[in-house]
Structure 1
Amino acid sequence: MRKFSLLALSLVFLLSACAPNFQKQNEAVQTKEKAKGKTIIPNYNISDKYYRTILPFKPGEARGLVVNNINTRYDLNEFEMGLMRIAQKSFDTEKYFFQEGQKIEAKTIKQWLNRQYTDEQLKEKNIKPEDNIGLNPVDTSAQGSEPTSPIYLAHILEHDYLTKDDKGNVTLSGVTIGLALNSVYYYKLTPDGDTFEKKIDFAEMEKEGKKLAEEVVKRARNIKTLKDVPITIALFEQESKSSVTPGRFFAYSTVDQGSSKLNDWEKVNEKYYLFPSTDAQNDHRDDTIAFLNFKQDVEQYFPNFNGVIGKAFYVEDQLQELNITIPIQFYGKTEGIGFAQYVAGLVMQHFPKYLSVSVSVTSVDGPEALIVRKANADEPFVHIYQ
């Protein structure tokens, strides 16, 4: 018999996580360059997919910049969470604690994201030569002409990972740096003119991204607090502004403690697909058929409805997660409950047991139901919103 719950939505995450350890939170001493302060490390971790976060929470130096530099909300979320997945290849979630990037200052990141400027451009913009440290290539085009080179680097994101010693001292023990690269370059010929776009070839983007990574690591080593710690640096391809699926990390490299030399680049084979779509049909036909069968059965419940949309996440070409959205209009709460029961059964019927599936049912009034079937679970969890 399927389980129904009217508990708060946060229970979804508790149920999907590892067994909790409800011990009193630890209090540790965090040693800083100029002062010592108290910090809290929660004992309870909602999942081994995440790191325990150092408290009190400290916003990253680049907070706010990411919204302006990343094309879509989908890219923004994946850039942050994908970088955390990359970190797990080097920093164990049981041993390391997470903190948003504190070492590369916001002012520095802004300067690095600029273009390089010629001497004449420096005078025009009233920029000091010592501040001419942009990582994007110089543009020597005449005003009103197409730029001579695109902007490759859209954003830089730092994540810090800390460890605690036997005395409770917490110190920085590793850093990840994500470089968001443009797959499409947007530009204007005049400040108030139309926006044009230019597709950047992947091979070109990859080549430039790896060159940028070497320079970023070199500069990071000149920051006192990053002089010796291990660094993992990763390249992220962000999608166009019109995309409804996020971009992806496609490569990463590690830098040993005290070194400025990147080790060999490792390929990251991850990708998101929209269901239904031509790309999904061409690359993952069997999964697409399973989704379409599910969609067809939903439409039998509401014959005039065809709004079922899925977002599928693949790792090494294997489907890992499927998140489905069903926007629909209900005329009563009991109708919504009945529909949720029906959809929960379809999830169990159409999708393999190893796959994690979530279905969000919404109406014009807001969320109506959430159905979650974790990988290898015997029954789905269903939450009906009140």
Structure 2
Amino acid sequence: MKKISILLVCTLLLLTSCAPNMNDEEVLQNDESEEEVSIVPSHQLSEENYKMVLPYKVSEARGVITNQVANRLDIDEMEQGLRRHSKEVFDPKQYFFQEGQYLTSDRLFEWIDEWNPVIEEELEGLDDEDQEDIHRENPRYLSHILEQNYLQKEGEENNVELKGMSIGIALKSVYQFHTESRGPYFEDIGMDEMMEQGNKIAQKLIEELRQIEGLQDVPIMIALYREEDQASPVPGNFVAKTNVPGGSASIGEWDSVDEENILFPSDEGKEKYFDDHEIVTNFGNEIATFFPNYTGIIGKGFYVNGELQKMTIEIPIEFYGKGEVIGFTQFAYSLVQEMFSDYFDLEIKVTTSDQIESLIYRKAGAESPTIHIFH
């Protein structure tokens, strides 16, 4: 079991803008011991966020996800969503977060290749039509495996040990492939088919994890993530999760996860969440009435069990001076107060072609939004 000695620091964090000032904390190394002496900040951004052991350790498989998952939005949602679901198992008040330290890049690439169909030999000498048929019958389901570690303090010596692990398995909803001289082609993968394959992959994975030194008795949460296609303006979402007790190498029952990211305005948004679609559309219409440079808005709603949790809206517009930015932001602020309910988080970004000009943000339940204009 990996151990890290911790120096608990009680230094107050000075707040500037929205971020803590860490300048008063020192990272110490103990030359007389092979163990690392690290810092755990005495404050955290909120009780909903994990404290992290410093110096920060990047993942042993750093960068693999960017090679394996085509849509940048899926990368962000998978990383953040896995941490969000981990909070239900590993309480941020009791655990520290650390990026995955056990699954290396080589190991991940080996598993991804091994657990996806190997069809190269079958394609040799075939024409494009036959190659296409083989690809469609043998889609590559698995894109990536994401590891996150959760640590707890042990004993009077302030050691921390790995006490929990979360694993996200990224699975394709669309398989893209080429034949020898044609393509790209796209093969849709149904939810039931994806879940069947995801369960098989998860079982292979837990058996492999239990063979790694230090992971035999660690509780592991495994969550299945369904990717969107690589051109989608919204990310995919987690669809199922399960908890594997320490010492077990068997996947039990899966708990369904009812989450989705919806684009506004869109036909899907109008069909599933008509009221939210109308509010976003009317918000855009009001802006268009007063600002001729406006070209349209891009809204993204995040839903859990059919309830809106967060709405993010981007307003791309060209400005000719900072006064115009301020005036536009004030106008958008007044519309937010009039049009949007306060039961969900709301984030509105006013952007030009190369940067964010202003930000309007409101936490669920807050009386009024916060505005920041970038200089």
TM-score by length of 2: 0.87
Q: Give me the whole-angstrom Cα distance separating, in 2, the residues matched to 1:36 and 1:306.
A: 57
Q: Deviations over 1:176-196 (max 9, x none)?
A: 111000111111212x75322
Is structure 2 residue 283 aligned with structure 1 residue 294? yes
Q: Secondary structure at the match of 1:340?
A: helix
Alignment of 1:304-315 (within 5 A): 305-315=294-304
Amino acid aligned to 1:153: L
- Structure 2 counterpart of 1:274: 263
1:231 and 1:365, CA in 2 relative to 1: closer, same or farther beyond 3 A?
closer
CA contact (8 A) 1:29 1:168 kept: no
Amino acid aligned to 1:290: I
- Structure 1 counterpart of 2:72: 73
Alignment of 1:91-240 (within 5 A): 91-114=90-113, 134-139=114-119, 141-143=122-124, 144=126, 145-146=131-132, 147=135, 148-165=137-154, 166-190=156-180, 193-240=182-229
Q: Give me the whole-angstrom Cα distance separating, in 2, the residues matched to 1:258 and 1:93.
A: 23
Q: Secondary structure at the match of 1:175?
A: strand
- Structure 1 counterpart of 2:55: 56
Is structure 2 residue 318 aligned with structure 1 residue 329? yes
Q: Give me the whole-angstrom Cα distance separating, in 1, the residues matched to 2:37 and 2:284.
A: 53
**1:255 aligns with one of 244, 251, 258:** 244
Q: Give me the whole-angstrom Cα distance separating, in 2, the residues matched to 1:72 and 1:377.
A: 33
Q: Secondary structure at the match of 2:46?
A: coil
Asked which structure has the greater RCO (Cα within 8 Å, sep 6+), the reply is 1
Q: Percent identity?
A: 39
CA contact (8 A) 2:27 2:54 kept: no
Shift of 1:40: 1.3
CA contact (8 A) 1:26 1:41 kept: no
1:363 and 1:349, CA in 2 relative to 1: closer, same or farther beyond 3 A?
same
**Farther-moved stretch of structure 1 (159-168 vs 170-179):** 159-168
Q: Deviations over 1:125-176 (max 9, x none)?
A: xxxxxxxxx1113326323513241111110111000001242101000001
Q: Give me the whole-angstrom Cα distance separating, in 2, the residues matched to 1:340 and 1:385.
A: 11
- Structure 2 counterpart of 1:86: 85
Q: Give me the whole-angstrom Cα distance separating, in 1, the residues matched to 2:305 and 2:158.
A: 39
1:320 and 1:149, CA in 2 relative to 1: closer, same or farther beyond 3 A?
same
- Structure 2 counterpart of 1:369: 358
Q: Secondary structure at the match of 1:291?
A: helix
**2:331 aligns with one of 319, 335, 342:** 342
Q: Give me the whole-angstrom Cα distance separating, in 2, the residues matched to 1:339 and 1:304.
A: 11
Q: Give me the whole-angstrom Cα distance separating, in 2, the residues matched to 1:136 and 1:298.
A: 49
Q: Give me the whole-angstrom Cα distance separating, in 1, the residues matched to 2:29 and 2:153.
A: 9
Amino acid aligned to 2:241: Y
**Farther-moved stretch of structure 1 (360-369 vs 65-74):** 360-369
Shift of 1:61: 1.5
Q: Give me the whole-angstrom Cα distance separating, in 1, the residues matched to 2:123 and 2:238.
A: 35
The unaligned stretches of length 5 or more in structure 1 are: 1-9, 15-19, 115-133
Q: Give me the whole-angstrom Cα distance separating, in 2, the residues matched to 1:47 and 1:309.
A: 29
Shift of 1:327: 0.8
CA contact (8 A) 1:374 1:380 kept: yes
Amino acid aligned to 2:122: S
Q: Secondary structure at the match of 1:172?
A: strand
Shift of 1:365: 5.3
1:28 and 1:314, CA in 2 relative to 1: closer, same or farther beyond 3 A?
farther
Q: What is the count of residue pairs matched by the alignment?
A: 348
Shift of 1:25: 5.9
The unaligned stretches of length 5 or more in structure 2 are: 1-15
